[in-house]
Amino acid sequence: MSRGTPPSRGRKSAPAPKPQPAPTMLAADDDDGRDALALSASENADLCAGCTRCCDTVSIEIDAPRSAWEYDQWVWVLHHRSLEVYVEKPERWFLHIETRCNMLNDQGRCSIHGQHPILCREYDPRVCERRLPLLDIVAWFKDATELETWLAAKRPAHWKRLVQWRKAKIREGEKAARASKRVRLPAAALVQIAEAGSASHEPATHLPERKVARKRR
Ligand code: SF4
Ligand code: SF4
């Protein structure tokens, strides 16, 4: 799991926020060569004042889809609320979720500053998404239609494969439905099976399977 560059986790330090407009450029004296982990709490507080952007989202890097079933899986994901997908150069795909961190307090500060995850600490507020444009992002899909439209325009060979795969799957289903009609048992046999089943009183051993995203390689 990883976060894109630069959108990622952020940090808030304990001092109260000082509302101020978001800077659009990196201040020269901020660029002192120090690692983000070396910033003090008050420096973080100043840099993050008035902003909670990176604590309001989660992004998880995913395998770049190639096969038809993989695209179908992300189409399914994008039919869900609050789930988005974006692509960064050269070919990095991310699942993006709008969700506020529970550790963010009412003042827009990290309530566990000092114990907050390393991932948050390593996200540098001097060069974060608040200050620098997200130049690496080449596509952003807020829903399934946006992904399919992009696919058709930018990856026509992949789109064609997806369309053909869907048609083949539907044909398979129709064929299976026709076959199952042909092997229908006579009514008397079904009654006998039902009676035998109710006599055994055996508990059900199969629970319904949950709908989860799986790799099928
Ligand atoms: S742990 Fe703290 S810094 Fe990290 S996302 Fe949550 S509020 Fe933000
Ligand atoms: S200034 Fe940057 S690091 Fe700080 S909260 Fe905003 S996006 Fe996150």
Q: What is the pLDDT of residue 36?
A: 93
In ligand 2, the atom with minimum distance to the C-alpha of 47 is: 1
Asked if 110 and 9 touch (Cβ cutoff 8 Å), the reply is no
Count the Cβ atoms, other than its own, within 10 Å of residue 116: 19
Candidate of 101, 128, 131 to mutate for ligand 2, largest count of ligand atoms within 8 Å of Cβ: 128
Candidate of 129, 132, 134 to mutate for ligand 2, largest count of ligand atoms within 8 Å of Cβ: 129
The two tokens of residue 196 are 């035998």
Q: What is the pLDDT of residue 206?
A: 53
> In sequence order, which residues have a C-beta less than 8 Å from that of residue 122 and are 6 or more positions away?
8, 9, 36, 37
- Tell me the ligand closest to 102's alpha carbon: 1
Candidate of 113, 130, 131 to mutate for ligand 2, largest count of ligand atoms within 8 Å of Cβ: 130
* Cα radius of gyration rounded to whole Å, the chain: 26
Q: What is the pLDDT of residue 10?
A: 31
Q: What is the pLDDT of residue 32?
A: 76
Q: What is the pLDDT of residue 33?
A: 85
Q: What is the pLDDT of residue 89?
A: 94
Expressed in angstroms and rounded, the spacing between residue 47 Cα and the centre of ligand 2 is 7
Asked if 104 and 52 touch (Cβ cutoff 8 Å), the reply is yes
Q: Which residues of the chain have pLDDT under 50?
A: 1-26, 28-29, 203-205, 215-217
Asked if 20 and 126 touch (Cβ cutoff 8 Å), the reply is no
Q: What is the pLDDT of residue 183?
A: 74
**Number of residues that make up the chain:** 217
